[in-house]
Structure 1
């Protein structure tokens, strides 16, 4: 059983992302539908697994404290990142809202629902629950989930998306462990994602060309 579970993990979270990255010219156009389907399948699995505590999906107990902690971390880091983008990527600074306003508004509006929520269901809720039998140590699952989360972003074909996703995966995994709430993590993920699209990093995380 453990071998089968390891093979499943490798197939879904290693082989599939590598194939998507290798054939990104074709796979990018289907990325959002694929993400939605996989996210839905993960949700259905969790809802039908009696060992999974469903309240983890929408837990609001203590949520305000976790959201406040997320904001306290976000504000100084966002200021630093904004300055770094301004200095080192001046052509990218505020590019999406200024040059592609309609795309930016559309992205900000639908991103939390069609991208963030499926990702959190897959890489946090599903991953932490499904692979607990083979990776019982929560810290090890945290690191592993962060690694495969970063690997999944290799499909965008740039180092910034992968490296940024390592740190994002560690942050979101930590928040999930602390809050035990998919909702809380999705809110934090949405905050960071919308910021990235606004400040000038959106082009590194979009599945369509801005040219």
Structure 2
């Protein structure tokens, strides 16, 4: 029961509360994400049943990277074409109109956003709730859902749909590789592409 309460509070109540009070807490979202990521990492490291190698498991990295790129290249091309045809005003908006913001985002996004997210929603979630969700597929499905839910903070359905798709992909990759670094790299590739192709405006908080 304790783990269920913890999961509901951390992965359901907290994201909904942040989305509700987003204008009041917008400036603290990245520090909050980092703090939760550090707390989850501390819990994992204190758990003797957690296999720490998952935090630095690089075995077969380039094999997994090739698999990632085989999926990324065709689907990224398709998504770029969709953005160009449906939202041409957004296509390559950041690289062309705000190059400094774009470059800064590509540099800091993997560190301040991707790494904490993967520790929280993949490494922590899959291990922490194994006892109450013994089915790996159940953990995969629920982690996918809450990963999309936390993006409710951006106030648009595009961010949530992209995050649900990404969450499903990253969760599957984590189950397949048992490697946090592999999933971090895949997440960073997709996220950087999203910001580049023109969908970055859906993943920032609009001023009130």
Task: Report the TM-score, using the length of structure 1 for normalisation.
Answer: 0.96
Aligned-residue RMSD, C-alpha: 0.9
**Alignment partners' CA distance in 2, 1:4 and 1:139:** 22
Structure 2, unmatched stretches of 5+, are none
Aligned counterpart in structure 2 of residue 77 of structure 1, from 75, 78, 98 = 75
| TM-superposed deviation, 1:28 | 2.1
The residue that corresponds to 2:16 in the other structure is 18
> Match of 2:124?
126
Cα pair distance change 1:32/1:200, threshold 3 Å: same
Shift of 1:207: 3.9
Preserved contact between residue 154 and residue 206 of structure 2 (Cα < 8 Å): no
Counterpart of 1:31 in structure 2 is: 29
Cα deviation, 1:126-161, whole Å, max 9, x if unaligned, reads 000000000000000000000000000000001000
Task: Decide which of 114, 117, 120 is 2:115's aligned counterpart.
Answer: 117
1:76-128 Cα distance to aligned partner (Å, 9 max, x none): 00000000000111111111111111111110000000000000000000000
CA distance in 1, matches of 2:204, 2:95: 14
Counting only pairs closer than 5 Å after superposition, residues 1-211 of structure 1 correspond to structure 2 as 3-207=1-205
List, as ranges, runs of 4+ consecutive aligned residues in structure 1 with deviation greater than 6 Å: none
Number of paired residues?
207
In 1, distance between residues paired with 2:206 and 2:30? 11
1:27: how far off? 2.2
Indicate the larger mover: 98-107 or 136-145. Answer: 98-107
- Gaps spanning 5+ residues in structure 1: where? none
Distance 1:114 1:201 in 2: 19
Helix, strand or coil at the partner of 2:122: helix
Instruction: Please report the TM-score for the alignment, with normalisation by the length of structure 2.
Output: 0.97
> For 2:44 and 2:166, how far apart are their aligned partners in 1?
23
Instruction: Report the Cα offset of residue 25 of structure 1.
Output: 1.5
